[in-house]
């Protein structure tokens, strides 16, 4: 019989952690930075910074993104059933900050092109790669919508080895070049 490592808050009678405590915990987990983009039924581009991106499976290739309920980007994404995940490179911090700002004119301030009907706009100067996705399913969890997207196309905007933009400890950083002498140590 396997025993749980931790009691659930409900089972132990304790309250779940407060939102600021949970945010503080997750800030210690560095992650890549992406901008999820889509186009509304009227052709208007929408997008938001997202660090909740996960690969789910390679067959079929599927990504998961998590977007806040009430987000106009989520509304447009649900209406058109397609989106793009723009993986930002080391110089993409201004785009990450812009797309998390709520500025209604954000697409006037970055270079982008349409996703050719397969996904959302591509941030050509700020992303090292873009995955165009078709919405496969959605699941509402708390104040967010988890969106599963089947990847239809991948474009690389920087053919050389990219230096991805990372976010953790409430700071942006880039992946530093690996030392070839450093490998997996066991």
CA 49, CA 63: separation in Å to the nearest integer?
16
| Residues 122/82, Cβ–Cβ less than 8 Å | no
Mean pLDDT of successive 10-residue stretches along the chain, which has 186 residues: 50 77 74 94 94 92 95 95 95 95 93 86 94 96 94 83 83 70 47
pLDDT of residue 171: 82
Domain 31-174 sits in which CATH superfamily?
Electron Transport, Fmn-binding Protein; Chain A (2.30.110.10)
- For residues 73 and 37, give the distance between their C-alpha atoms in angstroms, rounded to a whole number: 7
CA–CA gap between residue 32 and residue 53 (Å, rounded): 8
Please choose, from the candidates 111, 127, 101, 105, the residue with its C-alpha nearest in 3D space to the C-alpha of residue 33. 127
Residue 138 has a pLDDT of 96
Compute the distance between CA of residue 169 and CA of residue 76 in angstroms, rounded to an integer: 31
Q: What is the pLDDT of residue 179?
A: 47
| pLDDT at residue 12, as a whole number | 61
Q: What is the model's pLDDT at position 163?
A: 87
Nearest to 81 by CA among 166, 148, 176: 148
For the chain, which residues make up each domain, given as ranges?
A: 31-174
Q: Give the rounded distance of the alpha carbon of 48 from its chain centre.
A: 9
């Amino acid at each position: 019989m396997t025993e749980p490592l931790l009691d659930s808050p409900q089972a132990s009678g304790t309250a779940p952690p407060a939102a600021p405590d949970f945010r503080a915990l997750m800030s210690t987990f560095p992650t890549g930075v992406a901008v999820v983009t889509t186009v509304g039924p009227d052709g208007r581009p929408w997008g938001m910074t997202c660090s909740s991106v996960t690969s789910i499976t390679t067959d079929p290739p599927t990504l998961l993104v998590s977007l806040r309920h009430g987000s106009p980007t989520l509304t447009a994404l649900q209406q058109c059933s397609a989106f793009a995940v723009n993986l930002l490179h080391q110089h993409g911090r201004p785009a990450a900050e812009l797309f998390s700002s709520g500025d209604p004119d954000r697409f006037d301030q970055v270079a982008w092109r349409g996703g050719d009907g397969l996904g959302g706009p591509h941030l050509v100067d700020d992303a090292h790669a873009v995955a165009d996705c078709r919405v496969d399913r959605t699941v509402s969890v708390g104040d967010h919508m988890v969106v599963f997207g089947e990847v239809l196309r991948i474009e690389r905007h920087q053919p050389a080895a990219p230096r991805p933009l990372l976010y953790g400890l409430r700071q942006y950083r880039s992946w530093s070049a690996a030392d070839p002498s450093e490998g997996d140590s066991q």
